[in-house]
Amino acid sequence: MENGHRKFPSTPGDIFIMVKSERKDLNFQVAKHAAKALSSIAELIEDIQGYKYLDNRDMIDFVDGTENPIDDERIESVLIGEDDEFKGGSYLIVQRYTDKQGAWDSLSTEHQEKVVGRTKMDDIELDDDTKPAWAHNAKSKVEVDGEEVKMFRQNRPYGNAMEHGTMFVGFSNTPSIIETSLTQMITADENGDYDKLLDFVEAKTGNSYFVPSQSFIEERFDD
């Protein structure tokens, strides 16, 4: 997707494996063995080691994931429904972003809060009078027939003092939810408003995947 100076590139990638635990050393071992096991059919092109940063903040220092659905609402938003041949699976969109740290740091905290749509220290949503139309949480929110439809984000900060950013990792029960969110974020509306977070982060990669359920895999690959 492209609009104005903003770009969401589509980059190569057929298989995505997310390895999660508190142990970076064990994560590395799993990744190494997975890459070896798949080496006859796939070439490893990116290995990003994310981590939990402060109290679940992303690299722009705001708490990330607060409005994620929980419990039954999470299951419903993530899993493909029973009537579908891919039931129990999910659709995943992954983008690797880098931060424009200097530009972000030059904003006042008050302005940063407007860009995100939440307060920085205590992670409270701005009220409608204070939240601009171009706030990230206004532009990324998806509604269908006036009802909010949620995705489930498992974003991870990554990187070091030279280059860092956020892996956007979003699951939904249909790819259209995240695609709609991306379209709303990148497109300038009739007032010229797009998601202002995109002035401070840059998408370097972009892929979408189907995530099979365990039973889907078992039914097709019995060894």
| DSSP for residue 216 | H
**In 159-172, which positions are buried (b, 16+ CB within 10 angstroms) versus exposed (e)?**
beeeebbbbbbbbb
Q: Is 198 in the site for ligand HEM (CB under 6 A)?
A: no
Q: Tally Cβ neighbours within 10 Å of residue 127.
A: 7
Joined tokens for residue 24: 């970076």
Which residue's CB is nearer to ligand HEM, number 83 or number 127? 127
Q: 181, 194, 196, 207: which one contacts ligand HEM (CB under 6 A)? A: 181
Number of residues that bind ligand HEM (CB under 6 A): 25
Assess whether 129 carries a catalytic annotation.
Answer: no
Which span sits near ligand HEM by CB under 6 A: 10-18, 23-31, 82-90, 178-186? 178-186
Given 61, 64, 99, 195, the catalytic residue: 64
Pairwise CA distance, residues 197 & 27, whole Å: 31
Q: Is 140 in the site for ligand HEM (CB under 6 A)?
A: yes
Question: C-alpha dihedral over 92, 98, 99, 100, to 10 degrees?
Answer: -140
Phi, psi for residue 73 in degrees, rounded to 5 = -65, -35
Pairwise CA distance, residues 82 & 111, whole Å: 44
Which residue's CB is nearer to ligand HEM, number 89 or number 196? 196
Nearest-approach distance from CB 166 to ligand HEM, in angstroms: 4
Nearest-approach distance from CB 12 to ligand HEM, in angstroms: 19
Q: Is 132 in the site for ligand HEM (CB under 6 A)?
A: no
Q: Is 136 in the site for ligand HEM (CB under 6 A)?
A: yes
Pairwise CA distance, residues 1 & 77, whole Å: 24
Which residue's CB is nearer to ligand HEM, number 90 or number 95? 95
Nearest-approach distance from CB 223 to ligand HEM, in angstroms: 37
Site string for ligand HEM, 55-94 (x = CB under 6 A): ---x-x-xxxxxx---------------------------
Q: Is 97 in the site for ligand HEM (CB under 6 A)?
A: yes
Pairwise CA distance, residues 207 & 209, whole Å: 7
Question: Which residues have C-beta within 8 Å of that of residue 24, sequence separation ≥ 6?
Answer: 49, 51
- Site residues, ligand HEM (CB under 6 A): 58, 60, 62-67, 95, 97, 116, 118, 136-137, 140-141, 151, 153, 166, 168, 170, 178, 181-182, 201
Catalytic residues: 64
